[in-house]
Structure 1
Amino acid sequence: MDNLTLNTDNYQLAMAYAHFCNGTHNQKTVFELYFRNLPFGSGYAVFAGLERVVHYLRNLRFSDEMIAFLQQQPEGYSAEFLAELRRFRFTGTLRAVREGSVVFANEPLLQVEARVMEAQIIETALLNAVNFQTLIATKAARIRKEAGPESYLIEMGTRRAHEADAAVWGTRAAYIAGFDSTSNLQAGMQFGIPTKGTHAHSWVQTHETELEAFQKFADVFPESTTLLVDTYNTLESGLPNTIRVAKELERRGKKLFAIRLDSGDIAFQSKVARRMLDEAGLPYVKIAASNDLDEHTILHLKVQGAQVDIWGVGTKLITGYDQPALGGVYKLVERELHGAMEPSIKISSNPEKITTPYRKSLYRILNQSGKAEGDYLALPGETDVLRGERIKLFDPVHTHVQKFVADYTALPMLQTIFADGELVDQLPEIGDVKAHHQAQLQQFDEEVLRNLNPAIYGVHLSRQLWQRKRELIEAYGAGAHEADWK
């Protein structure tokens, strides 16, 4: 929760200084944060990072040490600007999708309404928090999907995470999206996430025999022992020694909790281990597996009949292994001009990079069965969508792709988090965020939620918003074309 005010790019402060020098630093603006493409080939993403954003904004201030550092920079910031920074606080309005929500490309996750100096300085930190945590939460949801509701998931990627903060906040994101516990004690203390652990191979190696190592560990933790059985030979040494220790615990009225497989052919070893444990009268001993797992590996292991109850997932979760960045962006959609707010648009030769102007209201359209038919972006003044009678949903690029939904509910997705710099309400506890995510999943058909070749879920524009966007594209495009010929 340290002061991360300087967790921003140099050019953010340079632009703030240029605005200050030109007297435009108090100009009102609206920015929206969103991503253009769903990660991992998923049909959806899981929004995470809001708690990190709130802590950042509440602690946003330039310390004396930061001011001294900026005085030494080659940009030559004036004394007046540095004095402005000493008084700097976030005084704007932040709207956000509820954390843990199922979200899609090209819809605002955060909406910042603030003077341009504030909105610009906070951009990098907001993207840093939301891009990383949404990526990890989405990966975690995919892993939970393949593991199934009956499996227990432990996040154990700290030692392979990019740094301590990434491990702690990544753990939180994974827990929100379906994991049950973590090996990270800091995350456990900070967020109240259950913590679990076993022992390393080094524990076995520091004893004369594997059996001695197992016995001494079980003596210390007789009710919760999980034994790592692959230090020497999983089936010929690790399992027989485990069974002996488990029987010794039974005679004391205790029960061994689990074994862990961390190498080799996990599908084969787990099936043999299950048979050996059952034949020894130990059907209650669970089997845990680790070793560079992700949703793809878990799927293949389950197809092969692996007898695994607990999955320990580390590196490929906490690093977003197969897509290490979400690619979220933060774009200006409105600005103050001559005392009035005007729409702002970015034009690009890449159609997907053309922004949708105006601050927008975001709704989820639920049919009579409570299932989501599509998300809907509208201008704030539009109220027709709230009637719930009949609505036309169409793809904003391929406009011939359309459908009508009648007797629906339009669920507002953006909530006010900060108003005029003040936190409106306390954020929900992490258990409530996790429960909200599970409730969100119930709104969607299985075709959208599946990991492989998911159905495309539409994010639609109201006709009025779509028309105004087209008008701005034509106006700016025509202006640029004319300028090219002058």
Structure 2
Amino acid sequence: MTLSPLLVTPEDYGLLTDLYQLTMSACYIGEGMDQRRASFELFARRLPNNFGYLIAMGLTQVVEYLQHFQFNDRHLSSLQATGIFDQVPASFWDTLHNAQFTGDVWAVPEGTAVFANEPLLRIEAPLWQAQIAETYLLNTLNYQTLIATRAARLRDMAGPEAKLLEFGTRRAFSPQASVWAARAAIAGGLDATSNVFAALQLGQKPTGTMAHALVMAIAATEGSEDEAFTAFHRYFPGAPLLIDTYDTLNAARQLSERHHQNHAALAGVRLDSGDLVALSKQVRDILPNVPIFASGDLDEYEIFRMKQAGACIDGYGLGTRLVTGSPVNGVYKLVDIDGIPVMKESAHKLTYPGKKQVFRQYEGDRMIKDSLGLATETQNHGACPLLQPVMRNGSLITELDDLSAIAQRTTRSVQSLPQEIRVVQEPSSASVEITPALAELTQSTRTATAVAT
């Protein structure tokens, strides 16, 4: 049997959606509603536990998806073969065959701190296009926003001088997720990734050390751990060494002796197990001028604990807990159809109607407050609108930022937040006010809905 590789390419983006996006689109087309102008907004109703903010991330991949949005003949044949769409009108197939995104996109720039109920993105497009896009947009924005936020928290906790490396590829939820995680981690404040493909695609240099396997293999066949270090440095002079395969302190002493004998450069040593606080202090005494890196299921909470305990650690490798964890539960909701504001009124899932804007007030470089209002409002007092136009009529109208610019924005955005929002244990929540105009529209929309039902 020949297996079809489960690889997603831009050619297949149209099919990477949930079935109900297609069945709803078929219904819209059958009812003659498909070309009505619809506005959907993507936001998180609440933040993950112990998160005081989110860092918006993934817009670049959203644009790429929308630019490649299509259905080819193979896609249509595969859909028809399911039998699910036997009763849909022929115009459904014509619409998919000629598919391309023709709408507008408004978005918060990547690297910007946002809070609950604040839109990261708004799509204004023909109803069927905006509907089908939901699944992919939520996938990339939810995941990359999670990783970027964790990276920003790690950087904030570790400090600007610490070396932070992304090691999460083997724990990410898929090969594609590992690439997005590497991108979001660097954009969120980490220095580099060990993922070779991601690094090269992003114009970065991959980073890493070695594994215990190399030490054990060479020690078993050539006699000692020191022989393994010598062999590795033969091909990668001065590269950081993993020193906790057998006896961490003995390995550190051997390296110290070698350094004194031949003055060999050593870029660092890595500790991956044991009591990292105690070991780092002991290794620092033995190798006082050598950077010490730590890894092994670390996160911002563990870095905080180790720093409080006086650990002598100069950098961290972050993997499992960076690329996994509590998800960002972003949602994508219809807020306007042909200029008619709409809202969801389900218990605990109420949404605000109409196209909205987030207005951020600063005092110097410090954030004071956010207001959620209507996109048509003009805010005074120097408030900055966060949602910016990105695409118009399906075409990109602004240059997208590179990773360096996004990382710089992340740093500035986090530093602008009140300290009580930045802490990693029981942070305060930002107070996001709704403007009088939005409050009035919400009430009038609720009244109109009650009358209609």
| TM-score, structure 2 normalization | 0.93
Q: One-letter code of the match for 2:429?
A: I
Report the AA paired with residue 307 of structure 2: K
Whether 1:163 and 2:187 are equivalent positions in the alignment is no
Cα drift, residue 248 of structure 1 = 5.1
Q: Give 1:315's aligned amino acid.
A: T
Distance 2:25 2:261 in 1: 69
Equivalent-residue separation in structure 1 for 2:442 and 2:345 (angstroms)? 11
Distance 2:278 2:27 in 1: 64
Residue 231 of structure 2 corresponds to: 216
Q: Give the RMSD, CA atoms, in angstroms.
A: 1.5
**Partners of 2:107 and 2:377 in 1: CA distance:** 19
- 1:88: how far off? 0.3
Aligned-partner SS, 1:5: helix
CA distance in 1, matches of 2:247, 2:150: 33
Is 1:361 matched up with 2:361?
Answer: no
Task: State whether residues 227 and 242 of structure 1, in contact with CA within 8 Å, keep that contact through their aligned partners in structure 2.
Answer: no
Letter matched to residue 255 of structure 2: T
* Equivalent residues in 2 for 1:382-421, closer than 5 Å: 382-383=377-378, 385-386=379-380, 388=381, 409-421=382-394
1:94 lines up with 2:102 in the alignment: no
Question: Which among 369, 372, 382 is matched to residue 377 of structure 1?
Answer: 372
- 1:327: which partner in 2? 329
- Residues 372, 444 of structure 1: 8 Å contact kept: yes
1:25-40 → structure 2 map (5 Å cutoff):
25-40=34-49
Structure 2 matches for 1:307-326, cutoff 5 A? 307-319=312-324, 321=325, 323=326, 325-326=327-328
Offset of residue 192 of structure 1: 2.1
Shift of 1:67: 1.2
d(CA) in 2 for partners of 1:15, 1:249: 72
1:15 aligns with 2:24: yes
Q: Deviations over 1:86-112 (max 9, x none)?
A: 100000000000001011110111001
Supply the distance in 2 between the matched residues of 1:348 and 1:129 (Cα, whole angstroms): 26
Q: CA deviation at 1:424?
A: 0.6
Q: Whole-Å Cα distance in 2 between the matches of residues 10 and 378 of structure 1?
A: 33
CA contact (8 A) 2:108 2:386 kept: yes
Q: Which residue of 1 aligns with 2:299?
A: 294
SS in structure 2 of the partner of residue 39 of structure 1: coil
Aligned match of 1:450: 423
By how many angstroms is 1:249 displaced? 4.9
Is residue 241 of structure 2 the alignment partner of residue 227 of structure 1? Answer: yes
What is the total number of aligned residue pairs between the two structures?
Answer: 438
Matching of residue 151 in structure 1 with residue 171 in structure 2? no
Query: CA offset at residue 441 of structure 1?
Result: 2.3
3-state SS of 1:160 partner: coil
What is the rounded CA distance, in whole Å, between the counterparts of 1:43 and 1:144 in structure 2?
15
Q: Structure 1, residues 296-332: CA drift from partner, whole Å, max 9, x if none?
A: 111111111111101001011011x2x1x21100001
Cα distance in 2 for partners of 1:245, 1:90 equals 62
User: Which residue of structure 2 aligns with residue 397 of structure 1?
Assistant: none
- Ranges in structure 2 where 5+ consecutive residues have no aligned partner: 1-8
Structure 1 segments unaligned to the other structure (5+ residues): 389-408, 481-486
Q: How does 1:128-277 map to 2 (within 5 A)?
A: 128-207=139-218, 208=222, 209-223=224-238, 225-236=239-250, 238-247=251-260, 249-250=262-263, 254-277=264-287
- 1:106/1:219 Cα in 2 relative to 1: closer, same or farther (>3 Å)? same
1:454, CA displacement in angstroms? 2.0
Aligned amino acid, residue 2 of structure 1: P
Q: TM-score, normalised by structure 1?
A: 0.87
Cα distance in 2 between the residues matched to 1:473 and 1:23: 26
Deviations 1:251-290 (A, max 9, x none): xxx4111111011111111100000113xxxx1x111110
Q: How does 1:76-91 map to 2 (within 5 A)?
A: 76=86, 77-91=88-102
Superposition deviation, residue 477 in structure 1: 4.0
Alignment pair present for 1:463 and 2:421: no
1:364 to partner: Cα distance: 0.6
For 1:83-122, what aligned pairs fall within 5 Å after superposition? Answer: 83-122=94-133
CA deviations over 1:331-373 (Å, ceiling 9, x no partner): 010012xxxx1110111122xx111000012211123x33222
